[in-house]
A = this chain, B = another copy of it.
Amino acid sequence: MKIIKFTAICSLSIIIVINVVMPQFTTAADESKIGYGRGGRMSGSSKSSRSDEPIKPIPINFDYDRAKVELGKKLFFEPRLSKSGWITCNSCHNLSTGGADNLPTSIGHKWFFGPINSPTVLNSKFNLAQFWDGRAKDLKEQAGGPIANPLEMGSNHELAVSVLQSIPQYVKWFNEVYASKEMYTDEKIHIDQVTDAIAAFEETLTTPNSRFDQWLNGYDKSITKSELEGYTLFKEKGCISCHNGVGVGGNSYQKFGVAKPYDKDTDTLGRYNVTNDDKDRYFFKVPLLRNIELTAPYFHDASTWDLSEAVNIMAEYQLGTTLTDGETKKIVAFLRTLTGDQPSITFPIIPPSTSTTPEPNRN
């Protein structure tokens, strides 16, 4: 108890220090209002001078509903949301490995393979929508997908909810979090609450304090000369046109194959599947580049495991240019400065099944 109390005091002190000593560190920049484009201006080294850069630091945000987030964390690691009782959200969005599974496509129920590379859950709140094709408007809507996808968790919403409903501790937690919130007033757990809690947890999974963010916040020595040159190239070559904002991506749909038709995968239609509009063919949500060094393989089709090759493919197909080896190297060096503090998660303890809990089904 003493430790918890003291840790709380310490955390508070840290927040105060951060806010007093480094006020710009907690500025939640509204990137949508800030113009960006090629060659964002580099302007000296004074501590507050980088707020006009097209990339914004990840805000540090302690303002969330702790009870809901804690419940969401349990659900994120809850294998009984899957039919087999074995697959969790973390199976594909592993928080040990950059919030992704580092597989070409995910393994799901009965060892089915998914159709597309699993994007990272880290910083996913900064995406304008979820999934590569943006078919879920937010994290809450996304969270319901994999539970009921036969290639993923293989369950359905009714079964998943009935599992939770059969466990008194979950009923208690859901009631604590939702009963007072007028979302629902009965004692039944609803799938909307399940996905809402998971989304609330996922929203905390940001990775602030990367070396690049430190530099954005005025700490010149946090990145090297070569990494800074990489950032300059990243802007000059045009990567920044799509990869900007807090997420260094995630805020627009773009065609894969702007400068040259992308021939490595012509089967995945992307945004077209949502809009049925021919002009959306091969459009995908621009992926976040935060922690990109942790989330190989790259692209929706996982066509490369190598970050340098990924940069070169982008240059060729999106920008219609060829980078020298030195340029690629510097851009990659810059990209590696985007790795931030990974979420520190206490592995949750989840309550046991009861005699009324549906048994897992591995088939």
Contact = CB atoms under 8 A, between A and B. Distances in A.
A239 interface: no
B95 A107 contact: no
Contact of A97 (B79, B103, B293, B345): B79
Interface stretch (A3-11, A39-47, A255-263, A281-289): A3-11
A361 to B, nearest CB: 10
A352 B3 contact: no
A142 interface: no
The prevalent SS among residues of A at the interface is loop
Interface of A: 2-3, 6-7, 10-11, 77-79, 84-86, 91, 94-98, 101-104, 107, 110-111, 113, 293-294, 296, 305-306, 342, 344-350, 352-353, 355, 359-360, 362
A362 B91 CA distance: 14
Contacts of A3: 6-7, 10-11
Contact of A352 (B293, B346, B352, B353): B293
Given A96-B350, A306-B355, A353-B102, A107 B362 contact: yes
A305 B362 CA distance: 15
A187 B10 CA distance: 40
A10 to B, nearest CB: 5
Query: Which of A95, A111, A306 is the most central at the interface, judged by chain B CB atoms within 10 Å of its CB?
Result: A111
A97 B2 contact: no
Contacts of A10: 2-3, 6
Contacts of A306: 355
Given A86-B103, A306-B355, A352-B296, A96 B113 contact: no
Contacts of A111: 110-111, 362
A344 B110 CA distance: 31
A85 B106 CA distance: 11
Given A10-B2, A96-B350, A85 B110 contact: no
Contacts of A348: 96
Given A10-B2, A10-B3, A355-B306, A350 B107 contact: no
A117 to B, nearest CB: 13
A102 B85 contact: yes
Contact of A345 (B84, B85, B102, B346): B346
A333 to B, nearest CB: 15
Contacts of A91: 86
Given A3-B10, A79-B102, 12 more contacts: A3-B6, A3-B11, A84-B103, A84-B107, A85-B103, A96-B347, A98-B352, A103-B362, A107-B362, A110-B111, A111-B362, A113-B362
Contacts of A94: 79
Query: Lowest 7 A-B CB distances belong to which pairs?
Result: A111-B111, A345-B347, A342-B349, A3-B10, A294-B352, A96-B350, A347-B347
